[in-house]
Structure 1
Amino acid sequence: MLPVVTAKEMQKADNAAIERLHISETRLMELAGRECLRIIFEVLQTDSLRRSNFLIICGKGNNGGDGFVLARHLLNNGASVDLVLLYPESFLNGINREGFAILQAYEKHLDTLRIFTTLDEALPFIEKTNYNIVVDAITGTGLRLSEPEMALPSPLADGIDLLNTLHSETEAITLAIDIPSGLDATTGFSANPVIEADLTVTMAFLKRGFYLNDGPECCGEVHIAEISIPRFLVEPCSCLLVDHEFAAEHFTLRERNSAKHTNGKVLIIAGSQTEESSMLGAAILAAKAALKTGAGYVCVSLPFVLANAMHLAVPEAVVIGRDSNTLVEKIRWADVILIGCGLGRDQSAIELVRELLEYSGLSEKKLILDADALYALSSLGVSALSKCKNVLITPHYGEFSRLSNILIETIAAEPIQTARQFANDYDITVLLKGSPTVIVTKDAPVLLNTSGTEALATAGSGDVLSGIISALAAKGASLFNAAASAAWFHGRAGDLASDVASLVSSGMVIDALPLAIEEIFTREE
């Protein structure tokens, strides 16, 4: 999995590379420029940059220095470059002044380079030029925002506005070096204005702000530039991005001589029926998802009046009622217990959850609480989990707000911090649904999952996810690893379910699960 670093962690890694590994700042900058060039060739799908036009707007720091290096390599490959320096030359430090001086020397020999020391000087020429790519080399990860939509001063704001105008009014691709200017690398909050990039070439490691708040809208497609800052400089990693390799690692294949009871026994306590409504569908989706993810044995506990319908919908599942003796027997039998999908929110459902959480036989079991079980928990208090030693909760922001008494707006702005604090306070595992999905547990790195699209924004999607988690955990994965892997499979199945995300239903996601799982093992072969 790839590290996802904060601005502070990136700064420490930069400094360590220079001070401990003796990699000079000049070398790092040179590698950054060369990597940007490599990615430009890939994006343009060309082996020649002759007759290609580039505009590079540079700030006064090292991000601008990267822009100077990129300009030189573009010129060396036959491109035409217009370079705008936003700040007076006297603002440049030693290494960046050196990079700028090289370009000034180039200008004496090449008519394909035009250097402008103010925006006003550049504008008449920019208006007459058709650019293939416009490059944001204004600010890097050093920008810290004290508040969202903080107003940026001139000339910084002027440079960003110009690039955004070209982005919206021309066919030029906007490339941000390291991070879109105006975006906070840690929080993902954006300033006013902020670069609207088509692609971001980030140095060494992914930045946390790419995935939070305004980050996904600002960054476009993200490419990682290899600039010789080794991974061990950010280890142990505080945050990692879940990928297909991680998902494959925690999917247990059946042994040749195995039996159903050795391939994961899942007990799902779900579903409800009243005079007004039925929530059987949630239980059906969870059970189907667990079976499609390879669980060897799935048992569903629901109001027995719904048994025939469940048998028709999921003939592979064993169905039991809600009497205490039967539930106790199946809890002892199960590898994983999932409670909550369509359980209902009346007093009887809340009382059922309370009784289950107080049962001593549940204390050592892998326990997953979702949906209506989380509603019950918010009524009972999180302290009701005190007897359970291995618990995963899977709330969305609204459910998490009820549990934590934290405003939804705060959770949305700071999902990693709020989920991590809650997991540490109660010694449980939390999968906080959202974009990204955040998976946290005590004494482990935060995991982020970004697989999937709006295809998953459909009724029953959470029930499917819970079913996938229960199967992976029953087959041996820890709740933490099962949750993260399941989130990845869930998202990928949503992608595969239809070419049109808006047409995807939860049933379609379940049907696509085998494709998502088969795909990763085919890829590994």
Structure 2
Amino acid sequence: MKKVFNEVSSLDKKCYEKYLLSEEILMEHAALSLKNEIEKKVKNHNSNILIVCGVGNNGADGITLSRLLQNRYKNIILYLPFGVKSNMAKIQLSRVNTLKIKQIDTIEDIKDIDLVVDCLFGSGLNKPLNNEAKKIIENLNSINAKKISCDIPSGINSEGYIYDIAFKADTTITMGALKISLFSDIAKEYIGKLKVGNLGISDELYEEKTNIYFLEKSDLQLPLRKEINSHKGTFGHACVVIGSKKGAGILASDAAFNFGAGLVTAMVHEEIQMPYYIMQSHNIPENTTAIAMGMGLGLYDKIEIRKILDLKIKKVIDADLFYDEIILDYLDENLVLTPHPKEFCALLKLIGIANIDVNDLQKNRIKYVKEFSNKYPKTTLLLKGANVLISQNQKIYINTFGTTSLSKGGSGDILSGLIVSLLAQGYSCKDSAINASLAHTLVAKKYRYNNYSLTPNDLIKGIKNI
């Protein structure tokens, strides 16, 4: 996993003061990172490359880039719609002017472009764009060309929110380290492939401590069976409480079994048709090691629900319970909560953190996840979305592998089954949430058919081969 920061200006300052690296050295390396990516993407040296630059140091990175690309491609074109203001932008522009790199005055002068590089606004954007800036970005988005953003697509503010419009990049090269603004759900639509540009110093020296982490594929730890002398009880007993929405419980039970739980029991009021390898019981079996509940609990009264929640067994909680005050008595270290945004809004209201709607939540998901984790540090939270956020003990882990394929009924039930399976096998609550989420999203990402056609059974099949 990689570290994520709220801002990196303090990390840049450390480079100046502790390692005696100048602002200019960092800028040269930022431009070099952009140049290296461009040379990978654009092999034809007869290509036309447009670099659009703002008034500050993000624009200065682009101006520097134009110098590094000089004579490597047919035309390097600079567009400075607002001029330059920062000292470094002025210095870099004076150097470029000695090379006679082509500069254009209006967006109408743009023709036959093969690559657009967005260096208008960096990650420090903190106010809405004016009409001229919005028009420029709109026109840039309409150009049929490859697109790269420097640091963050222009139009995304420092919290990952988009006021009106943003540059839609195929690739974003963020400078120095990952920033939290890159990981809002709405920003995901514009980031494209995300890479970190090195600024001339190792990550170990550049970075500091953080409580936010970006999950990678290599972080997935599957429950592979290494014990030779084992039996079904070795790998835990998962129990799924099935209520009125029987399909949800059946899917969760099947997913739990296929992800390695040695035994899976469905707790039911009356027997239902299920896969033959899923046991059924009217009570929680005594040897149960983890419980999944919450999906369609309409058949259970509050006494039954409390009786289950009182058991000192690890649990994954989903769906209906986020609307019930009962949950307030059980927010402890033995729980994994898996709400979608609407359910999380209901939970935030119940626990007294905020009374907001989904739109307000989506504007600043990480803020509210932090507030929840501050109030309930022992509880593991998994907030579903385009980017999955997992928190425990005031640390946040971001899973960006989610796809639109998962926007189908039953996908969340499969995730609950994967989590309870790992809990049953002895994973911690945090590790169960992280690894189940990674497996869930990576399977969907590998799905080879039309993205509208993914079914819960496809996820279960994929789990077997991941």
Q: TM-score, normalised by structure 1?
A: 0.82
Question: Structure 1, residues 199-219: CA drift from partner, whole Å, max 9, x if none?
Answer: 222112222222214312222
Change (3 A) 1:454 1:42: same
Q: How far is the alpha carbon of 1:468 from its aligned partner?
A: 0.4
Structure 1 residue aligned with 2:130, among 148, 152, 162? Answer: 152
Alignment pair present for 1:259 and 2:231: yes
Checking the alignment, whether the CA contact within 8 Å between 1:252 and 1:472 is kept in structure 2 is no
Checking the alignment, whether the CA contact within 8 Å between 1:55 and 1:81 is kept in structure 2 is yes
Alignment pair present for 1:382 and 2:327: yes
CA distance in 2, matches of 1:193, 1:411: 19
Letter in 2 for 1:417: K
Structure 1 residue aligned with 2:397, among 447, 453, 460? Answer: 447
- Counterpart position of 1:431: 382
Checking the alignment, whether the CA contact within 8 Å between 2:54 and 2:83 is kept in structure 1 is no
Checking the alignment, whether the CA contact within 8 Å between 1:55 and 1:134 is kept in structure 2 is yes
Letter in 2 for 1:26: E
- Counterpart position of 1:519: none
Alignment pair present for 1:114 and 2:96: no
Question: Structure 1, residues 232-263: CA drift from partner, whole Å, max 9, x if none?
Answer: 44332221122221112x64534122221112
- Counterpart position of 2:240: 268
Q: How far is the alpha carbon of 1:493 from its aligned partner?
A: 1.8
Structure 2 residue aligned with 1:368, among 316, 320, 324? Answer: 316
Change (3 A) 1:369 1:73: same
- Counterpart position of 1:161: 135
- Counterpart position of 2:352: none
Write out aligned runs for 1:182-197 (5 A). Answer: 182-185=155-158, 187-197=159-169
Change (3 A) 1:88 1:496: closer
Letter in 1 for 2:279: V
Structure 1 residue aligned with 2:303, among 351, 356, 371? Answer: 351
CA distance in 1, matches of 2:335, 2:247: 24
Change (3 A) 1:400 1:62: same
Alignment pair present for 1:218 and 2:190: yes
Which range is displaced more, 411-420 or 284-293?
Answer: 411-420
Change (3 A) 1:320 1:41: same
CA distance in 1, matches of 2:173, 2:342: 35
- Counterpart position of 1:228: 200
CA distance in 2, matches of 1:399, 1:105: 59
Alignment pair present for 1:3 and 2:7: no
Structure 1 residue aligned with 2:112, among 130, 147, 154? Answer: 130
CA distance in 2, matches of 1:414, 1:85: 32
- Counterpart position of 1:321: 282
CA distance in 1, matches of 2:418, 2:208: 30
Identity %: 28
CA distance in 1, matches of 2:236, 2:224: 10
Letter in 2 for 1:430: L
Letter in 2 for 1:355: K
Checking the alignment, whether the CA contact within 8 Å between 1:420 and 1:441 is kept in structure 2 is no
Gaps of 5+ in 1: 108-112, 273-278, 517-525
CA distance in 1, matches of 2:173, 2:146: 13
- Counterpart position of 1:523: none
2:292 aligned counterpart, secondary structure: strand
CA distance in 1, matches of 2:18, 2:131: 36
Write out aligned runs for 1:190-205 (5 A). Answer: 190-205=162-177
Change (3 A) 1:193 1:299: closer
1:501 aligned counterpart, secondary structure: coil
Q: How far is the alpha carbon of 1:481 from its aligned partner?
A: 1.5
Checking the alignment, whether the CA contact within 8 Å between 1:496 and 1:515 is kept in structure 2 is no
CA distance in 2, matches of 1:411, 1:59: 31
Q: TM-score, normalised by structure 2?
A: 0.91
Write out aligned runs for 1:47-126 (5 A). Answer: 49=45, 51-88=46-83, 91-93=85-87, 95-107=88-100, 113-116=101-104, 119-120=105-106, 123=107, 126=109
Letter in 1 for 2:120: I
Checking the alignment, whether the CA contact within 8 Å between 1:252 and 1:476 is kept in structure 2 is no
- Counterpart position of 2:249: 283
- Counterpart position of 2:149: 176
Alignment pair present for 1:143 and 2:157: no
Question: Structure 1, residues 76-116: CA drift from partner, whole Å, max 9, x if none?
Answer: 42442121233445x241x3322112111111xxxxx2135
Letter in 2 for 1:338: A
Q: How far is the alpha carbon of 1:288 from its aligned partner?
A: 1.0
CA distance in 2, matches of 1:303, 1:466: 20
Q: How far is the alpha carbon of 1:166 from its aligned partner?
A: 4.0
Letter in 2 for 1:293: F
Structure 1 residue aligned with 2:10, among 12, 29, 40? Answer: 12
CA distance in 2, matches of 1:488, 1:132: 36
Letter in 1 for 2:117: V
1:222 aligned counterpart, secondary structure: strand
Letter in 1 for 2:78: L
CA distance in 2, matches of 1:215, 1:77: 32
CA distance in 1, matches of 2:71, 2:24: 18
Pair member with larger Rg = 1
Q: How far is the alpha carbon of 1:334 from its aligned partner?
A: 2.2
Letter in 2 for 1:62: N
Letter in 2 for 1:317: I
- Counterpart position of 1:246: 219
Alignment pair present for 1:302 and 2:302: no
Q: How far is the alpha carbon of 1:431 from its aligned partner?
A: 0.8
- Counterpart position of 1:336: 290
CA distance in 1, matches of 2:459, 2:191: 28
Count of aligned pairs between the two proteins: 458
Checking the alignment, whether the CA contact within 8 Å between 2:401 and 2:442 is kept in structure 1 is yes
- Counterpart position of 1:40: 38
CA distance in 2, matches of 1:413, 1:258: 49
Change (3 A) 1:389 1:52: closer
Letter in 1 for 2:427: A
Q: How far is the alpha carbon of 1:393 from its aligned partner?
A: 1.1
CA distance in 2, matches of 1:293, 1:496: 17
